[in-house]
Structure formats: C-alpha cells, structure tokens
Amino acid sequence: MGLAALWLLAGLLAVRQAAAVLRLPPDERLTDLETWIGDEGVLHVGGSLYDGDSFTGTPFSGLVLKPLTRAAEQSLGVAWTFGTLLLVVVLGLVVARALPGPVSRRTSLIAAPLAISLLVLSLPVRNTFTLGQTSIIPVLLVVLTVLPRTSGRQTGVLIGVAAALQPALLLFAVVLWCIGRRRAAALAGATFAVCSALAWAVMPRDSWTYWVHHIGGAGLGAPADSLANQSLHGLLLRIGLEGPVELALLAVLAVAVAVLGLRRAVHYAQDGQPLLAAAITGSVALAVSPTSWQHQQLWILLAVVGRVGRRGSDRLVWPVLVVLAMSLNRTALLPDIEILGHIGYNAPLLAALAAACVVPFLSRTSPHWDAPEPTPVAEPARGRFVWVPLLRFIKRPLSRPNLMLELMLIRVGYFAYSWIRGHAPDERSLAEGHGHQVLSLEGWLHIDIEHWFNAIVADTSWLKHFMNWYYSTFHFLIPLSLLAWLYLRRPATYRWARTPLAFATLLALIGFWLYPLAPPRLMGLGYVDTAHGPQDLNNPDFGALTKLSNQYAAMPSLHVGWSLWCGVVIAIVAPYVWAKVLGILYPLLTTAVIVGTANHYVLDALGGAAIVSAGFGLQYLLLGVGRRPHEEAPPLSAAVGAAVARARGLVPGLVRQRDGQHDDAAPAGEGHPAADGPQKGDQPRVEQHDQRV
C-alpha cells in the first residue's frame, strides 16, 4: 500500500509539472527553446546562433538537437514536454539502480518513486521544463556510466558526448584517469574532440564564436553577475570584484575547488560509491564553470545519496538541507534579513561547494555505514483508554533532536504557515459578514467589550504605545525563546511540547481558510487601529496596510494560542512560583492586548485557546502522550562535556542517574527513561530497548 502511494505521488507530480507547462500560452512556454529554433530551424537561422547572446549551448548542441527542436516547434512543445518528462523518469530509475550497495529490499522498492518525486519537485527540473532546456540529457548520459554493466568503451563515449553538450563535464574524464580507467578517459576526450570537430566542420562561424570569441561560452546568456549564475565567477562579480583581480582570485579558487573536489570524487569512486562521485564531480563543474544556470544544477540534488553522520538522528540533516536548497526559493529557506539574504541568494553554489569540498561523507568501510549510533526511543505510551494511542507503531525518540534539522523544519514550517495564511480566502464582504456574526454572538453572550476597551486604550497614550509594542514583539519572541530554552535544558520536554504547538498552528490555518474574519479595526464601526491609525475603508486596497499577511485571518487568534501554549509550558516546567505566575498571566495579558488594539474579538481569543487544547488532545489521541516526561536528559553543556570526556577515555560509558536526570548520550544497550514518567504510586521506571537498527 505504501509503495503504491509513493508511485501514485510520483505520477501525480510528474503529470502536474507537464500540465503546468502546457497550460501556458504558446508564446510563454519553452521560452529558451524558441532561441534554438529560429525561423527555419537551428541550422538555418539567419546569421549566427550567438548573434543575440540568447543561445548558450555548444555548436554541437545545435547540430544534434535540430530534429528535436523542429518537432517541438511543430507540436507546440507537447512532444518536447513529454520527452523531457520521460528523461526525468529514466534518470530517476537509473539513480535508484545506481545506489551503493548493499541495499535492503525495502530501500530498493521505494528508491525509484522517491527519486522521481524529488527530481520533479526540484528547481533545476522545473526550470528545465519551463524553459525547454536540454540539461537533463548530459546528466543522464553521465549517470548511465555508473551502472554496473556499463563497459569502459560505453563509459568513454557517454562522457565524451555529455562533455560535447556541456564542456565542464570533461572533468569526469579526469576522474576516470585518476581511478585507473585511462582507456575510458582517453576515449571520452577523443569523443569530445570528434563531436566538437564535426560541429566545427558544419558550423564554422558558430564554432569560432563559441570557442574563440566567447572562450567556451563565457559571456553568453544573461549577465554573469546575475543571481541566476551560481558559479564562483558569478559570486565574485556579485560581491564587487572585477577585472584582473577577479580573474586571478577566480583562478586560485577554481583550482583549489577542482583539486580538492576531484580528489574526493576519486576517493568515493574507489570506495564503491560511483553515484556520489558523479555528484561531487558535477558540483565541482558547476562551481568552476564561468556560468552555471539553474537548469544545470541537478548534480547538487544527486549528492543526497551520500551518508553523513555517525548517529542515526543526524542522517537526515544533509539530505533535507540539499532537497530544501534545490526545491525552495530564497524566501522560503531563510528569513528576509540582509545578512541571511546573501546566503539564500547563493544557496545552490554553497550547497555545491559543500558537497564538493566540505561534507564528510562516510566511507563504506566505516563501522557507522550500516550501523549508526541508534537513537534511544520509548515504546508507544499506554493511555487510559484501550484505543489510545491510535499511532501505536511510532516509537518516540528520547534524545535531543539535531539542531540543524530542527531549525530547517521550523523555518520551512513557518514559511508554509505564512504562505497558506496569505493565500486564505480574503473576500471583504464575506469577512465583514463573519465579523457581524461574531459581534452578534458576543452581544448575546454579553462579552462584547471590544469597543469599550479599545476606546480606553486609544485615549491612554502610555497604554496604547505599550500594547502596540507588546503586540508586535512578544508574539514571536516568547515562543521562540521558550523553545530554545527547552531544547537546551529540557530536551525531552521540548519534544513533548513542540508537537501540540504544531497541531495548534495547523488547526489555525484550517480556521483561516474556513472562516475568514475581518478584525474590529477593519469593520468600520468606530474602532481605532492603534498601530496604523484610521483606515480608509472605501479604498479597496486598504487591506495592504501591512503587506505582510492576510488581514482577514483573525479566527482563531494565534497570538492567544501561542501565548497560552507558552503559559502552560512555563507553568509546568518553571522551578519558581513567581515564574509559574508569569506564565499564567502571559496569555491573559495577550488577550487584553489583542482586544485593546482592535486586532481581535474576544471570541478569537477563545478560538486560540480551543486550538491549543485540541493540540494537546491530538497528541494524546495519536501518541498517547498526555503528561510531560518526568525524567529529563542533562543540559546541552553537560551532554557535550560528557561526550568529550568519554572521547578522551576519562569517563566510562555508563548511564548515570542523579537527581532525577538521565544521560541521553548513553551507549548502545543501556536503558533510557520512559517519556511519560512514572505513574502514581510507582517508582520511576527505565525501559530497556533494542539498540540495533
């Protein structure tokens, strides 16, 4: 059933991508392909292919792909689109077949649909579909060489043809030479030379323009300093270097990256990981090429096959990082902050450099290749009802989660939340109609205090400024600070607390979609927007006053929901009474602020409380986790210190229990605390778990 679902998902994603291209008007689809075709086909275009600097391929590309481009012209891109889709499917199947062994039967079954899905979702493939590019072909030609039954002669020819289409791929011939396959390397170079000579004989003017005037295509296409060019050359130009200084620094960096990256590729090729070696070599080619456009960056995605990390909980960090960098745009990856913006804008290049030169991929001879250090887990908790939990197959981790993975998931989760909230229904008449419904219900319940309280706040200067500052500051500051403190000091409670928070946020998004609601400040009933002043409700664009989110996403109030979650967690974990009191007061003060500033109704606050309650209820229903763990792992500083001490052989690798705390860095075979803590009248219990993967 699960395998069928994966294949169905892969098929739906592939069809959706093809449909997205074919739905475009004929003059907007396959825009780069138009530069290949011209008025009479590639070989009969008026003048040189490079007159307009829009054609960036090699002359050999224009020669051999003429029939395909003519077919694309005649079929309005339908055949070209489905041909590209077929290439993606074949590439996914080849990648799944080329995984380094030994591969379990389960992995081999899910590898193909998973690879196809990741390829279709990636920005390079989506860009290739939209523009009508051919960059999948050289990738497929090279990846075919890593299959076990590909002979040396076939390897040389395939790499030579790929290099004739994309010259930087000649680096694969260097790798072949270094691993001792010199006959295949020489054949690759000869094939490249023959293909280029054939193109020169048929298209001498274009060949001269490409190889001599533009020195291998440098300067063709978009400006080299544009963000689309993810190469070292493009990066140096974007930071302001130019002329001889830029060229000299580029030469030094390119040589360093090529030497280090190709040595790593040779190592992993000899280690029995040819697909990873191909991904590293392709990443080197992207970095050192004069131009590396988005549709050429598929090599980076292939680097997900490398295994990184000794612990099982760390294995997902590198694949998730690469998939996110290759599938999401800059705004989804990092917040819109100037310093982080430079990282986001150059994320593909940084990922390529990391894959080529930095990431310590495991060797197949490593003891952690097949047996990573296991993550201690607890068996599904038993609820007081026989049917709780519903997800009995989930074993809950007890150790501190990987920080990098947590930060990535939080960032992407918040981006998804912002996107869904911003695209929720925002019809003004519907939202205002719901606002009148809420006011009528509050009047019937005698809790319609919004207008009275808002007038008091608007007329009291210090109170107005305090509430405006509180509303814009604490909504993110307190939850993020609490999550960080739990991660560092109470890792088991962190896992227990973050799940209902995620559930509550998801329920809030459903509420935004199903019940768009105009806040009091946008109802035109005399409420004062204390933060932005009076709004011109006759202006249809008044909702763009913040340009940040959907102004009609008011029910439920996540300000109250998140603050109530914080209050519950603080009241439970705080060691002092005064801290518990502050935790209880925090959601009450937040409720006063959202009502006083005319951003929410009282019922919105009740809705926020309801989704948090439902979040904790869903956690108990699905996982059986009702109470926070009684025993905690030691603080992060203590765990790091213990790990360093063990590495030096100063502390025996034993589980230590002291003052109700448990070491989450226990070695395999030792016990770990149960996540739910002791039941009433029982002693704290330690469950024994099989540590084998």
CA 419 → CA 423, 500, 501, distances in Å?
6, 21, 18
Task: Give the N- to C-terminal CA distance of the chain in Å, as an integer.
Answer: 23
Q: How confident is the model at residue 36 (pLDDT cuts 50, 70, 90)?
A: low
Please give the share of the chain, as a percent, with pLDDT higher than 90.
Answer: 40
- Span 258-271, pLDDT tens digits: 999 999 999 999 99
The pLDDT score that the predictor gives to residue 188 is: 95
From residue 429, alpha-carbon distances to 113, 425, 434, 440, 541 in Å are 45, 11, 9, 17, 14
Helix, strand and coil in the chain, % to nearest 5: 65, 0, 35
**Residue pLDDT, tens place only, 7-34:** 888 889 888 888 888 887 766 667 666 6
Can you name the residues that pair with 377 across neighbouring β-strands? 397
104-162 tens-digit pLDDT: 777 778 889 999 999 999 999 998 888 878 889 999 999 999 998 889 999 999 999 99
The mean pLDDT value for 355-375 works out to: 89
Three-class DSSP category at 632: strand
668 falls in which pLDDT band (50, 70, 90)? very low
Answer yes or no: are the C-beta atoms of 525 and 601 closer than 8 Å: no
CA–CA dist 598, 435 (Å, integer)? 12
| pLDDT per position as a tens digit, 240-287 | 888 899 999 999 999 999 999 999 999 999 999 999 999 999 999 999
Continuous H helices in 179-306: 182-202, 204-208, 232-238, 243-270, 274-288, 298-302
Hey, what's the torsion of the CAs at 171, 173, 177, 179, to 10 degrees?
A: 80
Average pLDDT rounded to a whole number, residues 171-187: 95
CA distance 420 to 549: 10
Quote the pLDDT of residue 66: 64
3-state DSSP assignment of residue 374: coil
Beta bridge partners of 658: 661
Residue 100: what pLDDT?
82
The enclosing H or E element of 29 equals none
Q: pLDDT for 395-441, tens place per residue?
A: 888 788 888 888 888 888 888 888 887 777 777 888 889 999 999 99
If you average pLDDT over residues 283-304, what whole number do you get? 92
Q: How high does pLDDT run on average in the chain? A: 81
* Contact yes or no for 295/131 (Cβ under 8 A): yes
Residue 504 phi, psi dihedral angles, 5° rounding: -65, -40
Task: Centre a 10 Å sphere on the Cβ of residue 558 and count the other Cβ atoms it contains.
Answer: 27
Q: Is the dihedral of CA 517, 519, 522, 523 positive or negative?
A: positive
- Report pLDDT digits (tens) over 448-492: 898 899 999 988 989 999 998 998 888 889 999 999 999 988 888
pLDDT, average across residues 289-308: 91
pLDDT tens, position by position, 343-359: 888 889 999 999 999 99
Q: What is the model's pLDDT at position 687?
A: 37
State phi, psi for 396 to the nearest 5 degrees: -85, 125
pTM beyond 0.75, yes or no: yes
pLDDT value at residue 625: 82
Instruction: Give the C-alpha separation, 112 to 118, whole Å.
Output: 10
